[in-house]
Amino acid sequence: MNNTIDSNDGPLVSIIVPTHNRADAVLRAIDSLLRQSYPRIEVVVVDDASTDNTADAIAHAYAGDPRVRYVRNSTNVGCAATRNTGMSAAKGEYVAFLDDDDEYLPDNIARLLAVFSRNSDVDVVVAGVAASRTNDDAGPQGWVEAEFHPSMVFDACRIMCKASSVQDIRLRCNYMEWRDFGFQVYEKQLRVLLCSENQVRKHKTLKCLSGDTNAMLSWALNNAKLYYEASRGRKEHAVFKHYLAHCYKGIGNFSLKKGKVWTAIGSYISSYRTERKLRNIVPFA
């Protein structure tokens, strides 16, 4: 399989890097992008009003490098709005994302572009998905159940989008924002292709928003309720019914772990009422 694309006249790829008070980590992330084997990139760093030396560190490290663009929020607005700022500022034909504490391996962009070149009708490529759930080059199908039943496929560091396809999609919450992005992709009936190859190196960083499990579960539940109601009478209603039941059960399992037995029981009952399957009232099943 040819995993490269001719880059002489290739499309510009914008990689959006949101950051806040991680001066050392964000330099590592940016360096990984500047080492990409595919050269036609712009790195859009959006600083969410950092109070450390992030601005000075970036200015010093990349002075005169036209590939790096630095944008700063006047106030701290959170990761979702910060990524939205990056999407609005991006000039590329394709848009990708990288968290400030993670890295791309050198061929990541080239390989994702190669997937687009072999599948011209695809709007979004999601990489790093377990091989058992992917289609690879078989075509853009099957991703919905992988995302909503109940695994989370969409991830900031593993997707590349045609900018024209997602120009009116914006992240709307600082928790589970990529699942909401997936919902919007689904509603717009964009074509998504899953790719099993992983070209991202993840790092664990303390005090990241994704560590607030309770907030993530609560926001996911509220989001699922909205889409469940909005999809009534539509063919995808069954998808959101299953996902809503899963969200209730997720809160039940989390509550049980925390010793909140009555909250857990109420959540399991809500899960069963939404989708009348016995597994919805069996903890951790």
pLDDT in tens, the chain (285 residues): 344 444 567 999 999 999 999 998 999 999 999 999 999 999 999 999 999 999 999 999 999 999 999 999 999 999 999 999 999 999 999 999 999 999 999 999 999 999 999 999 999 999 987 655 555 554 555 677 677 666 678 888 999 999 999 999 999 887 778 888 988 998 888 999 988 878 999 887 655 544 577 888 888 898 889 889 988 888 778 888 988 999 999 999 999 999 999 999 999 999 999 999 999 999 988
Confidence at residue 164, expressed as pLDDT on a 0 to 100 scale: 97
| In the chain, ranges of CATH 3.90.550.10 domains | 13-201
> In whole angstroms, how large is the CA radius of gyration of the chain?
20
Contact 175, 216 (CB under 8 A): yes
Place of tokens 């991680």: 22
* Three-class SS state of 160: strand
Confidence at residue 86, expressed as pLDDT on a 0 to 100 scale: 97
DSSP string covering 1-52:
-------TTPPPEEEEEEESS-HHHHHHHHHHHHT-SS--EEEEEEE---SS
* Three-class SS state of 71: strand
Contact 128, 198 (CB under 8 A): yes
Helix (H) or strand (E) holding 223: helix 213-230
Confidence at residue 6, expressed as pLDDT on a 0 to 100 scale: 47
Q: What's the pTM?
A: 0.84
Q: What is the CATH number of domain 13-201?
A: 3.90.550.10
User: Which tokens belong to 111?
Assistant: 């390989």
Place of tokens 């903890």: 283
